[in-house]
Chains A and B, each alone.
Chain A
Amino acid sequence: MVNAINTKNLNVYYRDQQAIHNISLDFLKNKVTALIGPSGCGKSTFLRCLNRMNDVIDICRVEGNISLNGIDIYSKEIEVEYLREKIGMIFQKPNPFPKSIYDNVAYGPRIHGFTDKKEEMDLIVETSLKKAGLFEEVKDRLEDMGTSLSGGQQQRLCIARAIAIKPEVILMDEPCSALDPIATSIIEELITDLKKSYTIIIVTHSMQQAARVSDKTAFFHLGNLIEEGDTSKIFTKPDHQKTNDYITGRFG
C-alpha cells in the first residue's frame, strides 16, 4: 500500500480562529477515502489544504506538513499550478464555465499546453467525457454551453474537466449535495469506476454515500480528527463514542 498524500500536524486558522487542530492523516493510492463529520467541522477546509486552494483566501493560514508522493507541496520544487494539475477538485455546486462543453473540457489541457493539434485535443475531450460517463449524452452537442446541461450532467462535465489534465488525485467536496437521487447514484457509480485510475478523497454528509463508495473513512469533529480507518470498521464498530453517535444519527 502506497500513500498518495500524507499530512502531518496540520493546523489551519482563519484569522485567529482555528479551524483544523493538529491533524495527521494519510491517503492511500487508488482508494476512495471519505471525510465525514457534522457541518462546520473543517472537512472542506482540510480538503482545500491538499491542493492549496486555501491560498486564495487571504485570511487563511496553514501550518504543518503536506506531501504528494513524498514531496512537500509547499516546497520550491512544486509550483502551485503544477500541484493543482496533479490534484483535481470537484466542488459542491457544479461550476462549469460559461463556455461550450468542448471548451470546458479542453480548458485545462490548453492551459497546460498538452497539445496544439486539433485531433489530439478532440481525443482528449472525448476520452475525458467518456470516463466521466457523459460522452453519449452530449456527443452531438459539444458546442452547446456547458451551463445549459442539467445539474447532474454539469457535475459530470466538471469531473471530465478535472480528469482531462490527468490528475493523480481527485478531491470532491460534497459533489452530490446539489443533485437529485438519480444523478447522485450515477456519480457514485462513476466514483467507484474512477478509483481504478485515481486516488479519490470525498467529503460527504451522507453516511450511506460514505459507506457505499469509500474504502477508508475519517471522522472529523470540531476541527479534530476523531477516528479513521477502514470504512467497514468505522461503520460497524467504531472505537470512539462520538463516531458511534454521529453515524447512528444522534447528532450532526
Chain B
Amino acid sequence: MFYSVLTLFVLSFIGFYLGKRKSIKLSQNIKLASLPSYYGYLAMLYILIPTLIAWFVLLVGENFVLEKYLFLILKEFLISMSGSEVQLFFIKIKNLSEGASFGNESDIELLGAQKIIQFKNLFLLLTYLVIFLVTAIALYLVNKKISPTFKSQRHVEKIVNLFIQLCSYVAILITVGIFLSLVFETINFFGYVNPLDFLFGINWNPNKAFVIDSSDVIDKDILKDAFGIIPLMTGTLLVVFLAMLVSIPLGLMSAIYLAEYAPKRIRDISKPVIEILAGIPTVVYGFFAALVVAPKIADLGEYIGLDVSSESALAAGLTMGVMIIPFVSSLSDDVIRAVPQSLRDGSYALGATKSETIIKVILPSALPGIIGSFLLAISRAIGETMIVVMAASLQANLTINPLEPTTTITTQIVTALTGDTEFDNPKTLVAFALGLTLFFATLLLNYFALRTVKKYREQYD
C-alpha cells in the first residue's frame, strides 16, 4: 500500500523528467510554444491523475471484491449461516489473516485466512500492473502530443483549474450532504410526530417513546405531547439571554476601551489575551460551570434565602457569556476602529469631548457592525453544547426563572443520540429534527449578522 503510492509518485517524476527532456531536445531546433518544464508537468499530471483514480477505485473496491470471492470459494460452508454470523466470520478471518490468532481457529477459518492473504497479494500485483499500464499509456500519449506547436502550458493550467474547482465542490457537497441527511431523517421523524405538535407542543418528554419498543405498535396519541419543542426553545433562549447579559456589556465596554482609550501597547497585548477566552475548550468551561459556578450560585442563593437549583440556567448562561465575550469585543473593536478618523476630527473640532464623541458619533456610526457582532455571538451561543450539557439539566421546564433547571436544544440532541437507541425510534430521530431547527435558527442569525456588518462596511468604503 505504502509502496504502491511511492511507486506512483516515482513514476510521475520520471514522467516529468522524460517530458521535459524530450521538449528540451525539440527546442534545440525550434522555439517551443511553452516552457520545457510545462511539458514535464503535463506528462506528470497525465500519469498522476489516472493512476491515482485507478488506485483509489481499486482500494475502495478491494473489500467488496474480496467478500464476493470468499462467498464464492466458501459457498457450501457459508450457506448455512445467518447474515450476522457471516459478518462475524469475515471479521474473524480478516483479523486472522493479519496475524491476530488465538490458537483455537477451525480449519475452515484457517483456510479463509489463507485465501485472504492470497487474494491480497494478487490484488497488490494487480495494483502495480494497473499503475504501470496507465503510466505507459500516459507516456505514450504525451510523447505523441509533444510538438513545438503544442501549448502544454494551457493544458496544465486547465487541469490545475479543474482540480481546484473540484476541491471547492467537495466542501459544498459535504454541506449539502449534511443538510440533506438532516432533512431526510427529520421527515422520518415527522412520520411519527406531527410537525405542528413538534413545533408548538409545550411538553417535552421523549422517554414516552420507549413504549414503542415493547409493543412495536406506535401509539401516535402518546407521542403527541412527548416532543413539544417549546420548552427547549424557552430554555435555549433563557440561557442565551443570560449569556448575552454577560457578554454584551463586558464585550462592548472592553471593545470601546481597547479601540478608543487603550494605548497601543496595552491593546496589542490585551486583544489576543481576550481572544484566548474563545479558544479555551468548551468542555473546560463546562466543568468550570458545573463544579465552580453552579455551586457558588447555589450557595449564594441559599445565603440570601433563594431556592436555587444546583443545575440552574444561570450557571450555564453566565459561563457561556464569558466564553463569547471575545466574539463581541473583537468584532466590535474592529468596527469601532473602522469609523473614519475624519468623523472623530469633525466631532472634536466642534468642541466635543472624547466621551461625547464616542457616545454620539462613533457608536452610532459603528452600530450596525456592533449589532452584527451581537448576532454572531448569539448564534454561537445557541449552538453551544458542551457547557449546557455539563451545567444545565436534562429537565425540560417551561420557565423563565434563571434559578430553575432548564435544558436546551443542543443538550437534548446529545441526550437523544447517546445510549443505545435504534434509529427507527422517534426518541432518536428527534435529534435530527432538533438539529434542523437549530440549523435554520443559526443560519438566519448569521445571515442577518453578516448582512448588517456588510451594510456597515459599504457605508464607508
CB of B279 within 8 Å of the partner chain: no
Give Cα A51–Cα B346 distance, bound, in whole angstroms: 12
Measured between beta carbons, the chain B residues less than 8 angstroms from A162 are 349-350
Report Cα–Cα, A88/B459, bound state, in Å: 26
Is there a chain B Cβ closer than 8 Å to A125's Cβ? no
A111 cross-chain contacts in B, Cβ below 8 A:
350-352, 356, 360
Contact pick for B351, options A84, A91, A147, CB 8 Å: A84
Binds A, one of B3-11, B50-58, B176-184, B337-345: B337-345
Q: Are B345 and A53 in contact (CB under 8 A)?
A: yes
Query: From A107, which residue of chain B is reached at the shortest CB distance?
Result: B350
Q: Once the chains are docked, how many angstroms separate the CA of A97 from the CA of B342? A: 9
Which of A89, A96, A99 is within 8 Å of B349, CB to CB? A89
A165 at the interface (CB under 8 A from B): yes
- Give CA–CA (A190, B353) in the complex, Å: 29
Given the complex of chains A and B, what is the CA–CA distance between A112 and B353 in angstroms?
10
Determine whether the beta carbon of B353 is less than 8 Å from that of A53. Answer: no
**Residues from chain B with Cβ under 8 Å of A165 in the complex:** 350-351
Q: Which residue of B lies closest to A145 (CB)?
A: B459
Interface string of A154-168 (1 = CB under 8 A from B): 000010011001000
CA distance A86 to B184 in the complex (A): 71
User: B348 is contacted by which of A56, A82, A147, A158 (Cβ under 8 Å)?
Assistant: A56
Contacts of B346 in A (CB 8 A): 91, 95-97, 158, 161
Complex interface: chain A residues within 8 A of B353 (CB): 81
Does B66 sit at the interface, judged by CB under 8 A?
Answer: no
Chain B residues, CB < 8 A from A126:
none
Distance (whole angstroms) from the CB of B2 to the closest CB of chain A: 61
Interface string of A128-159 (1 = CB under 8 A from B): 00000000000000000001000000000010
In the complex the two chains form, what is the Cα distance from A85 to B459 in whole Å? 29
User: Which of chain B's residues have a CB closer than 8 A to the CB of A85?
Assistant: 350-351
Q: Which size class do A's interface residues fall under?
A: 20 to 34
Q: How distant is the Cα of A48 from the Cα of B111 in the complex, in angstroms?
A: 95
A-B interface pairs (CB < 8 A), number: 64
Q: Which residues of B contact A96 (CB under 8 A)?
A: 346
B450 at interface, CB cutoff 8 A: no
Measured between beta carbons, the chain A residues less than 8 angstroms from B356 are 111
Contact A81 B351 (CB under 8 A): yes
A97, B351: Cβ atoms closer than 8 Å: no
CB proximity of B12 to chain A, nearest CB, Å: 58
Which chain A residues numbered 76 to 98 have a C-beta less than 8 Å away from chain B? Answer: 81-85, 88-89, 91, 93, 95-98
CA distance A112 to B360 in the complex (A): 13
Which residues A20-38 have CB closer than 8 A to chain B?
none
Tell me if B360 and A107 are in contact (CB < 8 A): yes
Q: Once the chains bind, are B348 and A97 in contact (CB under 8 Å)?
A: no
Provide the residues of chain A in CB contact with B191, threshold 8 Å.
none
Whether A95 contacts B360 by the Cβ 8 Å rule is no
CB-nearest residue of chain A to B459: A98
Asked if B365 contacts A97 (CB within 8 A), the reply is yes
Cβ-neighbour of B343 out of A84, A97, A112 (below 8 A): A97
The answer to whether B351 and A112 touch across the interface, beta carbons within 8 angstroms, is: yes
Q: Once the chains are docked, how many angstroms separate the CA of A85 from the CA of B340?
A: 22
CB within 8 A of A99: which of B340, B351, B364, B459?
B364
Query: Which residues of chain B (244-297) have a CB below 8 Å from chain A?
Result: none
Which residue of chain B is the closest to A82 with respect to CB atoms?
Answer: B351
Closest residue of A by beta carbon distance from B367 = A98
Q: Does A238 contact B (CB under 8 A)?
A: no
Determine whether B32 belongs to the interface, using a CB cutoff of 8 Å to chain A: no
Q: Which residues of A contact B351 (CB under 8 A)?
A: 81-85, 108, 111-112, 165
Nearest neighbor of B264 in chain A, beta-carbon distance: A58
Q: A91-B342, A98-B364 are in contact. Are A107 and B347 (CB under 8 A)?
A: yes
**A165 vs B346: C-alpha distance in the bound complex, in angstroms?**
13
Asked if B400 CB lies within 8 Å of chain A CBs, one says: no
CB–CB A53/B348 < 8 A: yes
Interface status of B394 (Cβ within 8 A of chain A): no
Q: In the bound complex, what is the Cα–Cα distance between A91 and B347 (angstroms)?
A: 12
Given contacts A91-B342, A93-B342, A97-B365, contact A51 B349 (CB under 8 A): yes
- Chain B residues contacting A98 (CB-CB under 8 Å) are 343, 364-365, 459
Is B78 on the interface with A (CB-CB < 8 A)? no
State whether the Cβ of B361 lies closer than 8 Å to any Cβ in chain A. Answer: yes
The complex places the Cα of A96 from the Cα of B345 at a distance, in Å, of 11
Q: Which residues of A contact B (CB under 8 A)?
A: 51, 53, 56, 81-85, 88-89, 91, 93, 95-99, 107-108, 111-112, 147, 158, 161-162, 165
Q: Can you name 12 extra interface pairs (CB under 8 A) apart from A85-B351, A95-B342, A99-B364? A: A53-B345, A53-B349, A84-B351, A91-B345, A95-B346, A98-B364, A98-B459, A111-B352, A111-B356, A112-B351, A147-B459, A158-B346
Q: Can you report 15 residue pairs joining A to B where beta carbons are below 8 Å apart? A: A53-B349, A56-B344, A91-B349, A93-B342, A95-B345, A97-B343, A97-B347, A97-B361, A98-B459, A99-B364, A107-B350, A111-B351, A111-B356, A112-B351, A162-B349
